[in-house]
Structure 1
Amino acid sequence: MTGEITKEAVEAVLLRARERSTLLTDCVDDTELIAQHSPLMSPLVWDLAHIGNQEELWLVRDVGGRDPVRSDIDELYDAFKHSRSSRPTLPLLNPAEAREYVRTVRGKVWDVLEASTFGRTELDVDGFAFGMIAQHEQQHAETMLATHQLRSGPTALVATPAPQAARMPELDEVTIAAGPFVMGTDDEPWALDNERTAHQVYLTDFAIDRFPVTNGQFVEFIEDGGYSRPELWSRDGWRHRVDAKLRAPLFWEHDSSGWWHETFGVEAPVPPDKPVVHVSYYEAEAYASWAGKRLPTEVEWEKAARWDSESGRSRRFPWGDVSADENLANLGQRHLGPAGVGSYPAGASAAGVEQLIGDVWEWTSSGFHPYPGFRAFPYREYSEVFFGGDYKVLRGGSFGTDSVACRGTFRNWDHPIRRQIFSGFRCARTISGRP
């Protein structure tokens, strides 16, 4: 979102988020909504009411200064007080109550939006709080989409059109020249605290894959014994591979006819030309070692995505400053999976690197740490409490990420063992000096 933030634009992103949340919860019955489909995930009905509760806290009570709708449920829907695995045991709102709650909250939000001046408080400048809530709902929508992938039985989601046909590109790499670039942002109005502040970083030259690693390439790794060769894995990665009995990406199976995968309840042969998805950081790291490369650092990924050496500036997106559309990236659950590599040539970065936005979240080798000048805003629990630890940064968004929650500076993070997320990767290579 650039330029002047209008109330019409805010209304549009809030409506789009709610339409998606409704789709993901209305497509299953109440039994499915209250069930926990994996200990890694909340019941769908918890996500729905949590979305409403965050909207109430920040927009109705804080920005709007209105009386609470349901202050009695704040603790139930506090993500830091209850682990995902424990949430089914809580006295949660039932599906009908949750739907009524989010409708009531949203009605009050429209009143708050109408009265807002987009500047009364820091939280309200440029409609930041509204943008934060739209992003929050879309992030939970992607989490709910991942829950649908973990459900047993047939898909409840309506089949979407296949992504546009891909050209057959050469799976080569792009060299990024040495030099400084500006990482992060100071002027993206809805950027979250961990994306700030803008700061200059110097990198020596490096090479990065033009495309994410494909299923076909990953099959080569498997068939060359990649899961049985400890020398390819880090110590922690090999320990996890053995303990978790990893032998292929999540949802993959093998029979006499080859590799198959299940996507939202539908079984199909693994398509060789599409980016591999549902792999952990450790699997990505092992593949990169097998390929004689490594994973890119977060800084390398962002320079490859944003830096335009001709203009001497960092772009909002790889292709420029305009928001994504269906010709530039595979975002917003328009398709229920990644597109084949080469599908979005118009979305290439200035350096010629493609599909950096959408399709699959890309693991980087970097831990999650604050930028220089970081300031927690508007609350510590969004970013600050996660800094350090074993978290690895992912970049670029997936086919399940909405455009409001994805840009060249956006940072995601997760534990290196996670595979239920829509995660893939691309490789990089040091050319000279220190990366």
Structure 2
Amino acid sequence: MSTRSKAHTDPETDTAPEVSRGDLAELGVERLRSRVAGELIRTRERSAALTESVDDDDLTRQHSPLMSPLVWDLAHIGSQEELWLVRDVGGAEAIRPDIDDLYDAFQHPRRDRPQLPLLGPAEARSYVGTVRQKVLDLLDRAPLEGRRLVEQAFAFGMIVQHEQQHDETMLATHQLRDGPPVLTAEPPPAASGDLAAEVLVPGGPFTMGTSTEPWALDNERPAHQVHVADFLIDTTPVTNGAYRRFVDGGGYDSPQWWSDAGWAYRQHAGLGAPRFWRRDGASWLRRRFGHVEPLPDDEPVLHVSFHEAEAYARWAGKRLPTEQEWEKAARHDPSTGRSLRYPWGDEDPGPEHANLGQRHLQPAPAGAYPRGAAPCGARQLIGDVWEWTSSDFLPYPGFGAFPYREYSEVFFGPEHKVLRGGSFGTDAAACRGSFRNWDLPIRRQIFAGFRCARTPRPGELG
């Protein structure tokens, strides 16, 4: 069946909603249990690879005050799994109630975590293994209906996504650690085809967010109609080569391109280039997971803050897209009026669609993944680099916190900017066209880049 077949019209909004994740909703209970078990096992294999590739000293060391020791992330993964699945869904006795506070991310800032009496590597591995065995036993018998937390295995999906998010955080810690390379991966595919620099997204309404994606998190909900005016958006993310021209042209020395807050941050932090770039005469090198290599001009720029992205966009005569513009470019199919799950349609991401899941340890060249293109023609909207938008992280109309306020609600406000699309370190389970990420506008250790947008000039569209 075509992934872009015409959907029915929603009588409440008179717009065509996105298709629900039928592969979960239509699975029989036993097949659903099997799929969830596979996701849990696959995710744990990634966590193990990230923590077993270094010795115990590396696991317990804090590689940056911005990040937790890797061993904290590992035990935190187990603690959240115990709280939500073993205790809440399963109704079982606590395994380690004595460590609840240690692994509460809101009680202890990252910079302070090395001073806590954390579980050591062997004890942490034993703990997460015990929790996982109880969860797999629970999965064999837990009802997957009758309660919102377990409908279509939501709580299990939430835990899969939580672990994958921490896996991406641990991957960022690997990028920050000193020492020889310990991670390996095949290079990404090459770019394909000659592409226009930007594509037009016609104005009009579209359905933003989701009310039907079974594992969507609260800030993605509910689906609602948004009107967006005509805009143009870059076909691909901004590349290292394009950003290098901004750097070499004095972009970091010219306050005219920066907001007041951005210029103050640039001066305070002494910024002169993206994080991990290093001059080598007239050229640039970058450090990538222990490798020092020539900067590849054709890859999307990485490790830039919101302020740097905004300054580049102004220098280029453009701007950052709003979150609404980004999602319309990524999901809206004008041929049907539907909002797709992904730019290419409703099928789950495959290696032909996007650079996800740590399959490669770098972004693919700009213009890769033609099979992942959106209806508007933009590429690489999913995977490769998280993309900064100009939007503050705010709730959608009708938002309701679920299953706890601390996932999204406490972060709403102008302090955090929205990022969309996922990176090469984001797993497919934790990324979709409606997925929203957020961070402080000064953050550079995350796998973030951007693409630009602009409003059409008068008379440009005829």
Measure, in 2, the Cα distance between the counterparts of 1:257 and 1:70. 56
**Is 1:211 matched with 2:236?**
yes
Measure, in 1, the Cα distance between the counterparts of 2:430 and 2:277. 29
Alignment of 1:9-408 (within 5 A): 9-157=35-183, 159-167=184-192, 169-170=194-195, 172-408=197-433
Aligned length: 432
Can you list the C-alpha shifts for 1:14-41, whole angstroms capped at 9, x where unaligned? 1111000000000111111000000000
Give the C-alpha shift of residue 287 in structure 1: 0.3
User: Mean Cα displacement is larger for which, 164-173 or 377-386?
Assistant: 164-173
Give the C-alpha shift of residue 170 in structure 1: 3.4
Write the letter of the residue equivalent to 2:105: A
Can you list the C-alpha shifts for 1:251-306, whole angstroms capped at 9, x where unaligned? 00002150000000100000000000000000000000000000000000000000
2:8 corresponds to which residue?
A: none
Can you list the C-alpha shifts for 1:214-235, whole angstroms capped at 9, x where unaligned? 0000011111111111000000
Any conservation in 2 of the 1:153–1:265 contact (CA below 8 Å)?
yes
- What TM-score, normalized to structure 2? 0.92
Give the C-alpha shift of residue 117 in structure 1: 2.0
Any conservation in 2 of the 1:306–1:315 contact (CA below 8 Å)?
yes
Measure, in 1, the Cα distance between the counterparts of 2:393 and 2:70. 28
Any conservation in 1 of the 2:354–2:382 contact (CA below 8 Å)?
yes
Any conservation in 1 of the 2:393–2:413 contact (CA below 8 Å)?
yes
Measure, in 2, the Cα distance between the counterparts of 1:203 and 1:336. 35
User: Mean Cα displacement is larger for which, 255-264 or 420-429?
Assistant: 255-264
Q: Is there any run of 5+ residues in structure 1 with no aligned partner, and where?
A: none
Any conservation in 2 of the 1:398–1:423 contact (CA below 8 Å)?
yes
2:18 corresponds to which residue?
A: none
- Cα separation, partners in 2 of 1:171 and 1:432, compared to 1, 3 Å: closer
Q: 1:393 is paired with a residue of what secondary structure? A: strand
- What TM-score, normalized to structure 1? 0.98
Can you list the C-alpha shifts for 1:149-205, whole angstroms capped at 9, x where unaligned? 000111221x21111121253351011101000000000000000000000000110
Measure, in 2, the Cα distance between the counterparts of 1:60 and 1:2. 27
Measure, in 2, the Cα distance between the counterparts of 1:236 and 1:293. 19
Give the C-alpha shift of residue 120 in structure 1: 3.3
Q: 1:123 is paired with a residue of what secondary structure? A: coil
Any conservation in 1 of the 2:192–2:369 contact (CA below 8 Å)?
no
Give the C-alpha shift of residue 2 in structure 1: 3.4
Q: 2:265 is paired with a residue of what secondary structure? A: helix
Write the letter of the residue equivalent to 1:384: E
Give the C-alpha shift of residue 389 in structure 1: 3.7
User: Mean Cα displacement is larger for which, 61-70 or 163-172?
Assistant: 163-172
Q: Moved runs in structure 1, 4+ residues, more than 4 A? A: none
User: Mean Cα displacement is larger for which, 62-71 or 135-144?
Assistant: 62-71
Measure, in 2, the Cα distance between the counterparts of 1:242 and 1:349. 38
The partner residue of 1:2 within 17, 22, 38 is 22
Q: 2:145 is paired with a residue of what secondary structure? A: coil
Any conservation in 2 of the 1:38–1:150 contact (CA below 8 Å)?
yes
Give the C-alpha shift of residue 347 in structure 1: 0.2
Any conservation in 2 of the 1:171–1:211 contact (CA below 8 Å)?
no
Q: 1:377 is paired with a residue of what secondary structure? A: coil
Measure, in 1, the Cα distance between the counterparts of 2:193 and 2:207. 33
Write the letter of the residue equivalent to 1:359: D
Any conservation in 2 of the 1:360–1:396 contact (CA below 8 Å)?
yes
Write the letter of the residue equivalent to 1:140: H
Measure, in 2, the Cα distance between the counterparts of 1:56 and 1:169. 50
User: Mean Cα displacement is larger for which, 114-123 or 55-64?
Assistant: 114-123
- Cα separation, partners in 2 of 1:369 and 1:335, compared to 1, 3 Å: same
Measure, in 1, the Cα distance between the counterparts of 2:207 and 2:391. 18
Q: 2:432 is paired with a residue of what secondary structure? A: coil
User: Mean Cα displacement is larger for which, 384-393 or 298-307?
Assistant: 384-393
Can you list the C-alpha shifts for 1:49-96, whole angstroms capped at 9, x where unaligned? 000000000000011111111011000000000000000000000000
Write the letter of the residue equivalent to 2:412: F
Write the letter of the residue equivalent to 1:303: K
Give the C-alpha shift of residue 432 in structure 1: 6.5
Any conservation in 1 of the 2:361–2:425 contact (CA below 8 Å)?
yes
